[in-house]
Chains A and B, each alone.
Chain A
Amino acid sequence: MRYVFALILSVLATSLCAQERAWEDRALFGAADTPRMLHVLSSTDIALFAPIAESFVADTPGIAIEYYVAGTADIDRIMRKSPDRFDMAISSAMDLQFKLANDGYALALDGFDHPDWAEWRQSVFAFTSEPAAIVLNRAAFAGAQMPQTRQALIRRLRDTPEQFRGKVGTYDVRQSGLGYLFATQDARTSETFWRLMEVMGNLDAQLYCCSSDMIEDVAAGRLFVAYNVLGSYAEARKDLSDAIEIVLPADFRTVMMRTALVSSEAPDPALARSFMEHLLTQQSGGTSAALALPLLDLQKPGSEQSTIQLEPALLTYLDRLKTERFIKEWEDAIIQ
């Protein structure tokens, strides 16, 4: 009997640990003993999200925000497995957020005056516009012109392959939901993407889970070129601005919108709603330079379509067959 009990305990502990390990970072805004606690699961770094969370806690007495950082794929998994665990999910992987809402995991919040193209079913709300950028090491490109397009970058890499061998990096699309989203949208837009991947593969490309790691490696000189890095993260690292150059490709841009949704089984939907209101107001109308996150570009995406649309087509590359095929092609290109 004692063994059984111990077994149960150990299983419980392991499962708890497994759940604990699901997030990478954790922060608490406000006092720990407040009666109302908003649980947010997010892919956004704490430093970038802190201003928004702190202003909300300051404005609303008696509440606190428990903030967990996790990878986009983990967020999707956790929200599906236990939708009552968190009030809110914030992610840069638009496709996964869209699928959560499509599958009924998001609560519809009516009454928000949010642009039609920046929300879906009043469940998924976009609150930033963030382009994918090429981050370059200034020292490596000293004395030469910085490549402004993918073509120029390809030429540069081909011209001096020895200089860049092992010094190019991009997202590992098998690990990062955002990396996968950027890669699929790039592939959809232009064949140049595949050529770039092949060139990078030839140069023994390094693969990363996260933008911040890539930025730090470029700044430290371990990488010369990082492709499809979140421009917003690079901009935020003012301390590294001397070492890195952020290039928004001139040929075409892929702009991601960070999205938030309230869980259909949120423990405190009213609080989640007021936080969502705060978030959207700050991000779509706010002018405060103190905000670390880029604002939502309120100009409706025009004909030079670059912003990824919140539409059913986002499900396309989440299809199992499509994913398998895409990852196989990507591996063929980049892993030599």
Chain B
Amino acid sequence: MSDLIRSSASLRQRLTLVLIGGAGVLALVLYFGVRLYATQIAQQGQDDILRASVTAILDTAVIRDDRLEIDFPYAALSMLNTPSDDRVFYAIRQDGTLVSGYSELPQPLGTLAPAASWSVPYQGADLRLTTAARSLIAGDSDTTITVTVAQTQDALSVTLAQISRNVAFFGAGFFVLAVLLSFWATASTIGPLNRLAQSVTRRGPQDLSPVAKPVPAEMVPLVASLNTLMGRLDQSLTRSEDFIAEAAHRVRTPLATVRSHAETTLQRVDDEENRSALRAMIRAIDESSRAAGQLLDHAMTTFRADHLDRQNTNLSELVQDLISGLEPVAEMKDISFRLRTEKDVTVSADPILVQNAIRNLIDNALKYSPAESDIVVSVAQEDMAVVRICDAGPGFPKDHMAGLVDRFARGENAKGITGSGLGLTIAHDVALAHNGTLELSNAKGGGACVTFSL
């Protein structure tokens, strides 16, 4: 059945992919975000030290005798020592003119905030500069002292490389964890769906009762529609079974009347031609009533299979009684039964159904057996209780033995023999309803064997 259903992308795959993709995006965002943040913090740290150095130099600026003196402390440059031995540059300017330091050091563009930091490429390296200015009173006029301190960024890039590596490890770990979690989340989400599918699959062929187990809220609409569908199906099945049973019943009674009229007429008629016509008529009526009987049996089997009335049933006696009842029919064809039964083979089963099944099987055997042959019926307690019926007929067609239990299927070699094709179906349904089996085989010396196990 399932290969007939067109499947679009698997829910599990889609869910897993979405979760993994989301985790990947999050891991990347985490990596770049943390790195950016770390870069800012590390840069902030360097700027702070540069600013402290600038302040230390600027603070010592004094005008003495109209001359600028800057006696900055050793620590002002000592604090710029880094593990990577970064190069250090500085420039001290008075009103824009270099007083001391590196003349080629770039000057800030435009006006400055109290202390500004910026980066420039310098002698093949990235240079970070910080500048601050201070106004001093020199005699009658103001003079502005500007101090710039600069440092290469080797230590910073070493730190950043380290941070990047750590964050990369962190992101990868997060991703792996998220992938594992997404597998787990997918499995636990898909689980109820699988369980529902299994419970529906495990049902017997006749079980159309609604799903009663609790299902996740998201699946309630689906299961509700499924239940409604099954309800409608059940109703329509029941209706058609009822209809068939009713129809068969209605047909059987008039048929019996017609048959008795035909028999009476047969005794009165002398003309051979008319007699043979009447006999043919009686045979046809018999066949019709047998078919009607089987339809009734089948309807009953279908009905009772859902509500088995299990009792302790003595299979030996049941078979014995059946054969006694069928003896007259067998004698008409000069067929004799050979019964081999173990004593008191007992099963827990619905006796009416089992009786129906075995009667149909023996009926089949009678029908396919040639005149003056034996039908061997054996009842035994093996792994299960077994009733085996073997005849001397043509046997089952080898090619499609399995299809014979379908409704209205008849063997290729059954042409010329009247029958509805329901006998094996009824027996099979009964066996299935009791968790039993029905096996078809051909005997070695010819003839069909049916093994009915409960």
Contacts and interface: CB of A to CB of B under 8 A. Distances in A.
Given A102-B88, A121-B85, A321 B80 contact: no
Contacts of A322: 70-72, 100
A315 B88 contact: yes
B262 to A, nearest CB: 121
B75 A313 contact: yes
Given A311-B81, A316-B76, A325 B88 contact: no
**Most B-side CB within 10 Å, residue of A120, A309, A312, A315:** A312
B412 to A, nearest CB: 94
Interface string B54-94: 00000000000000111111111110110101111110100
A124 to B, nearest CB: 9
**Most A-side CB within 10 Å, residue of B74, B85, B99, B123:** B85
Q: Do most interface residues of chain B lie in helix, strand or loop, or is the interface mixed?
A: mixed
**Most A-side CB within 10 Å, residue of B68, B70, B87, B99:** B87
A266 B74 CA distance: 32
B173 interface: no
Nearest to B89: A102
**Size bracket, chain A contacts:** 10 to 19
Q: Which 10 A-B pairs have the closest CB atoms?
A: A313-B78, A312-B88, A121-B85, A320-B100, A311-B81, A312-B77, A313-B77, A321-B100, A312-B80, A321-B70
A311 B101 contact: no
Contacts of A188: 74
Nearest to B88: A312
B74 A316 contact: yes
Interface in A114-138: 116, 120-122
Nearest to B76: A316
A316 B89 CA distance: 11
A316 B81 contact: no
Interface in A280-336: 309, 311-313, 315-316, 319-322, 325
Nearest to B99: A321
A104 B88 CA distance: 11
A65 B229 CA distance: 104
A116 B75 CA distance: 20
Interface residues of B, number: 25
Contacts of B83: 116
A235 B66 CA distance: 49
6 contacts: A104-B123, A309-B81, A313-B78, A315-B77, A315-B88, A325-B69
Contacts of A316: 72-74, 76-78
Contacts of A315: 77, 88, 90
A313 B149 CA distance: 13
Contacts of B85: 120-122
Contact of B101 (A116, A319, A325): A319
B37 to A, nearest CB: 29
Contacts of A313: 74-78, 81
Nearest to A120: B85
Contacts of A116: 83
Contacts of A102: 87-89
A3 B127 CA distance: 51
Interface in B154-193: none
A319 B100 contact: yes
A325 B75 contact: no
Contacts of B71: 321-322, 325
A98 B88 CA distance: 11
A319 B72 contact: yes
Nearest to A122: B85
A111 to B, nearest CB: 16
A315 B79 CA distance: 12
Given A102-B87, A121-B85, A320-B99, A312 B68 contact: no
A182 to B, nearest CB: 15
A325 B99 CA distance: 14
A212 to B, nearest CB: 30
A165 B90 CA distance: 43
A3 to B, nearest CB: 39
A120 B154 CA distance: 13
B168 to A, nearest CB: 26
B157 to A, nearest CB: 14
Given A321-B70, A321-B100, 13 more contacts: A102-B89, A104-B87, A104-B123, A311-B77, A311-B81, A313-B74, A313-B75, A315-B90, A319-B100, A319-B101, A321-B68, A321-B69, A325-B71
Nearest to B75: A313
A122 B81 CA distance: 15
A165 to B, nearest CB: 33
Interface in B88-119: 88-90, 92, 99-101
Contacts of A312: 77-78, 80-81, 86, 88
A323 to B, nearest CB: 9
A95 B149 CA distance: 18
Nearest to B83: A116
Contact of B92 (A309, A321, A325): A321
A188 B77 CA distance: 14
A173 B85 CA distance: 28
A311 B78 CA distance: 7
B377 to A, nearest CB: 102
Contacts of A319: 70, 72, 92, 100-101
Contacts of B89: 102
A120 B76 CA distance: 19
Contacts of A325: 69, 71
A319 B88 CA distance: 13
Nearest to A108: B85
Contacts of A121: 85, 87
**Most B-side CB within 10 Å, residue of A104, A313, A322:** A313
Contacts of B77: 311-313, 315-316
A116 B88 CA distance: 18
Nearest to A314: B77
A188 B73 CA distance: 9
Contacts of B87: 102, 104, 121
B380 to A, nearest CB: 95
**Most A-side CB within 10 Å, residue of B68, B71, B75, B123:** B71
A129 B383 CA distance: 102
Interface string A139-154: 0000000000000000
Nearest to B92: A321
B350 to A, nearest CB: 95
